[in-house]
Amino acid sequence: MKYYVNSEYRPLKSVLLCVPCREIEDIDEYESVLYSRRINYDILKEEFDSLVKVYKKLKIKVNFINTQRIASADPRYKFNLMFVRDLFLMTTRGAILSRMFSEVRRDEVKYAQRALKNKKISVIELNQGPATFEGADALWVNKGLVLVGVGRRTNLKGFLGVKEKLDRQGVQCVRVSAPKNALHLLGALQFVDLHLALVRVELVNTKIINFLKKNSIKIVPIPENEEVKQKHAMNFVTVSPKRIIMSSDCPQTKKIYEKSGIKIIAEIQATQLNNGGGGIACATGILYRG
């Protein structure tokens, strides 16, 4: 299989996941590893199993990161390694590796790199220095255009590094401000078709709105309710145009999606991913969209 990505919505064929280690629940100071709340491992494992089952039912190839410790790695790598989407940006010529903002997460990229190389996927590293870049801050608008949110997690040098790599592929890379009160651009903006995007309009600035309108992309505004803020209802995975997998128990947001012509293929409990500060999309590294 050839692995490549140049959209956020074309049929999903292959993903990379990481089933967490039980040790992640054995921490009292959960905020020190960026969690919102303490995680219950047994429930988290059930939720991961459900997600894997859905992907396999949809004939989406599921690959896993080997969590066996790399000798030089910080032992804290295990706490957020389940959020694979953050660790790289897949392109048509390989994966651009992230350089994580948080020290707690720095060594996670080594595990993603090992998994990618095992799949014979080319790995593209950013230049050394003060650059930071996280994969969930980069979104494919179309096959020739990537939007990158610059803020706390991805800095200007990180953006310029990604831009340099994409320029070599003939892909335009545009900088916007990362949304306020969201960890990444992905948390406030999702493309579900070539001309359709869901946007947490209260979080993004006018430049993003104007950019979408300029590119003839219809905007579906998503309000800041409990489902979005606490249950990560916007943290969904698009499996093909206007077809998504989303968090369960989010009836208000689901109604908005369906009214916009989006079909909900499956609903997954993501309570423990939420406790970790993420959701289904954060947990899913995208390897191939056909």
Q: What is the dihedral of CA 191, 47, 278, 120, to 10 degrees?
A: -70
CA separation for the pair 229, 261 (Å, rounded):
23
Q: Find the largest Cα–Cα distance for the chain.
A: 51
What local confidence, expressed as pLDDT, does residue 188 receive? 97
Nearest to 287 by CA among 127, 107, 133, 64: 64
* Tokens at 149, concatenated: 């949110």
The residues of the chain scoring below 70 in pLDDT are: none
Tens of pLDDT, residues 229-265: 999 999 999 999 999 999 999 999 999 999 999 999 9
DSSP string, 215-250: TT-EEEE----HHHHTS-TT--EEEETTEEEEESS-
Q: What's the distance, CA 10 to chain centroid?
A: 16
Q: What CATH number is given for 12-289 in this structure?
A: 3.75.10.10
Asked if 121 and 4 count as a contact pair (C-beta separation under 8 A), the reply is: no
Buried b / exposed e across 157-185, counting CB within 10 Å, b at 16+? bbbbbbbebbeebebebebbebbeebbbb
Question: Beta strands 123-124 and 94-97: pairing type?
Answer: parallel
What local confidence, expressed as pLDDT, does residue 93 receive? 97
SS3 143: coil
Question: Beta strands 237-240 and 243-247: pairing type?
Answer: antiparallel
CA separation for the pair 35, 177 (Å, rounded):
24
Asked if 247 and 270 count as a contact pair (C-beta separation under 8 A), the reply is: yes
DSSP string, 63-93: EE---SPPTTS-GGGGGTTT-GGGGEEEETT
What local confidence, expressed as pLDDT, does residue 36 receive? 93
- For the chain, the domains span 12-289
CA separation for the pair 226, 7 (Å, rounded):
29
What local confidence, expressed as pLDDT, does residue 127 receive? 83
Would you say the pTM of this structure is higher than 0.85?
Answer: yes
